[in-house]
Structure 1
């Protein structure tokens, strides 16, 4: 399945309550790669309509350059999600985040509604990306099938808090109770060519805890992390930023592969190690990220 390329790397995605005008206005200057205007958990039922109007207005007035703009709609098991989609689809919306995602049929219904709304807005079919928030055991087991359900699916995000709730798990200091689920979802994301997005770290004043958790996410194969507070953004970016050593090694890998291709050499090696296509692809992705950091 061929997925649309995300124009530039996404490392941080900041949740912003959709009914809090002051927080939305402040979010534009946080430096986050993506903003997620939230219509779900942070908005009480009696404020849903107000939040939709506020988010729609913010999306409409966005001017370039701006972060990637996403909206977390309400779960497809609720009566709110269709109105959410109908309210926010427009040219500045990059994608929708679908919470508690576990139903293939619901995604097909979402796909149909998105096509209708894109058509009504004069947008090309498939313009709006979809990001799946995996927060239940059922969703985790279905993650691969859900990710393959549409070329619109651009990312898989892990929701640790709701996953613990679904499984009846108590949080531990090192997060061991969700380690398997977290690792598995990163593997599914890579296998389905989706962005792997790690869960929020809710202790937003604990900078060292955030750093440790983000480093582990990077080591597990995640590309990005959800954030709940602006002060988390610099740390997330710092951890996902390639080091000079990593950049130098990636350049050497790409150069060695290019020389071998030019010489029609079947075997490529560097410093006594074999280099195959996955290693080269990884090096190229790292250099793209490094280049975006330098802009």
Structure 2
């Protein structure tokens, strides 16, 4: 999966909202067939989502669809309707077991073939939103090669809150372990770009900023957002600053010089820097380049980042 700072949910049955989101600043869009769509409109929404995907195909944004849970009996019909060349990933809700992930992957195998889509094109992004799903986050991420990210979401009074029973606070201490646990499992499973979120208070941009900043600091690379007014804040928080970019460029340049002088470590801005920090610098600069914050690829003595 490409790195996305902001992934905006858009109700799948509101095609006019999809068109507005296409020209907005979100890095990626999730056209929603699940919670945002009334039960009576879910079947009709499939065709609208397919139209939205095809209309947004040239927008340069990542395009995803949140499908309905397997338990609803709607998932196969969703995938039959929306699997196409414009679809980058499906977002799968209420996932609690590796078998759930494999079931979605098997359906994708079938509908990619049936709909003439390149095999393996559509990725899977998992939502771990129950106690069991969070407990098994590592297993879920390893269940299929299609899985490229997981959402460690802790929205106020949402599915996770209901499942675990915590009382939400603006400061987020009660969800820090949950978010950290999902992040650790995701990283251990090889997920490069885990996603945090969501912030449901539409007016509290200060709280959103603090939550996004903490999510970035503990290791998340982006956030799901539920309203266009949140996109600018989240993009800003998850975009590396010029000072951060300059520092990590200095790490690479300084370590090149150190290795040329047969030194294993050097002092940089009062901090000891050694070869182990080179890969961190490369990863940081690669992320900055991929989101457009850095025009040149990261250099250094170990070659291009993998």
TM-score, structure 2 as length reference: 0.88
Q: 1:119 aligns to what?
A: 113
1:148 aligns with 2:142: yes
Q: 1:219 aligns to what?
A: 217
Q: Give, in whole Å, the separation in 2 of the partners of 1:117 and 1:127.
A: 11
Q: Residues 149 and 257 of structure 1: is their aligned pair in 2 closer, same or farther, counting only changes over 3 Å?
A: farther
Query: Which of 183, 189, 192 is matched with 2:189 structurally?
Result: 192
Show CA shifts across 1:109-135 (max 9, x none). 111111111122333322111000111
Q: 1:281 aligns to what?
A: 279
Query: Which of 171, 174, 178 is matched with 2:175 structurally?
Result: 178
* 1:143–1:185 Cα contact (<8 Å) kept: yes
SS of residue in 1 equivalent to 2:194: strand
Q: 1:3 aligns to what?
A: none
Aligned residues: 287
Q: Residues 45 and 249 of structure 1: is their aligned pair in 2 closer, same or farther, counting only changes over 3 Å?
A: same
SS of residue in 2 equivalent to 1:237: helix
Q: Give, in whole Å, the separation in 1 of the partners of 2:135 and 2:108.
A: 25
* 1:130–1:155 Cα contact (<8 Å) kept: yes
SS of residue in 1 equivalent to 2:236: helix
* 2:170–2:207 Cα contact (<8 Å) kept: no
Q: Give, in whole Å, the separation in 1 of the partners of 2:71 and 2:280.
A: 38
* 1:253–1:270 Cα contact (<8 Å) kept: no
Q: Structure 2: give runs of 5+ residues left out of the alignment.
A: 296-306
Q: Residues 293 and 48 of structure 1: is their aligned pair in 2 closer, same or farther, counting only changes over 3 Å?
A: same
Show CA shifts across 1:50-95 (max 9, x none). 1101001111233424210000011122211111111111111010
Deviation larger for 179-188 or 224-233: 179-188
Show CA shifts across 1:125-159 (max 9, x none). 22111000111110011100110112211111023
SS of residue in 2 equivalent to 1:31: coil
Q: 1:158 aligns to what?
A: 152
Q: Structure 1: give runs of 5+ residues left out of the alignment.
A: 1-5
1:68 aligns with 2:62: yes
Show CA shifts across 1:13-50 (max 9, x none). 00000011221111111210010000000111110111
Show CA shifts across 1:131-190 (max 9, x none). 001111100111001101122111110231211111122212312221110111111222
Q: 1:243 aligns to what?
A: 241
Root-mean-square deviation over aligned CA pairs: 1.8
Deviation larger for 92-101 or 252-261: 252-261
Query: Which of 23, 36, 44 is matched with 1:42 structurally?
Result: 36
